Amino acid sequence: GAVVSQHPSWVICKSGTSVKIECRSLDFQATTMFWYRQFPKQSLMLMATSNEGSKATYEQGVEKDKFLINHASLTLSTLTVTSAHPEDSSFYICSAEGFPRMVRSYEQYFGPGTRLTVT
């Protein structure tokens, strides 16, 4: 149980175009989803936290107009990289917290990641 999928697994796009990445919880309801970004050989940096039906909370330094997050249902969150540039090339990983959320249990289930390359 607790499987999270991401689509696409990799994408190459031209500079200036927009790319949408989907994150789905397949066998549980995800009240909260998280989007991370990971550069090669670096750690995961939290970009934003999204709760179903409400606006995402962005981390400091993350442009909300550039990285649009929509959490329309309890099983789907999307991240759209708008007007992508080569510096946006990275590994984008989502994770989800399940419902019902156990007290003192903060386990997150990670998706397989999406590797974005902007040319």
Partner 1 sequence: GQQVMQIPQYQHVQEGEDFTTYCNSSTTLSNIQWYKQRPGGHPVFLIQLVKSGEVKKQKRLTFQFGEAKKNSSLHITATQTTDVGTYFCAAIGGEYGNKLVFGAGTILRVKS
Binding site for partner 1 (CB under 8 A): 34, 41-46, 49, 59-61, 93, 95, 104-113
DSSP type of residue 62: -
CA distance 39 to 93: 11
> Which CB sits closer to partner 1, 9 or 17?
9
Query: For the CA atoms of 24, 28, 30, 36, what is the dihedral angle to 10 degrees?
Result: -50
Tell the smallest beta-carbon distance from residue 31 to partner 1 (Å): 12
Tell the smallest beta-carbon distance from residue 32 to partner 1 (Å): 9
Contact 15, 66 (CB under 8 A): no
Tell the smallest beta-carbon distance from residue 66 to partner 1 (Å): 16
> Which CB sits closer to partner 1, 67 or 109?
109
> Which CB sits closer to partner 1, 65 or 106?
106
Which of 97, 81, 78 is CA-nearest to residue 89? 81
Amino acid at 114: T
Give the rounded distance of the alpha carbon of 12 from its chain centre.
Answer: 17
> Which CB sits closer to partner 1, 47 or 81?
47
Tell the smallest beta-carbon distance from residue 4 to partner 1 (Å): 9
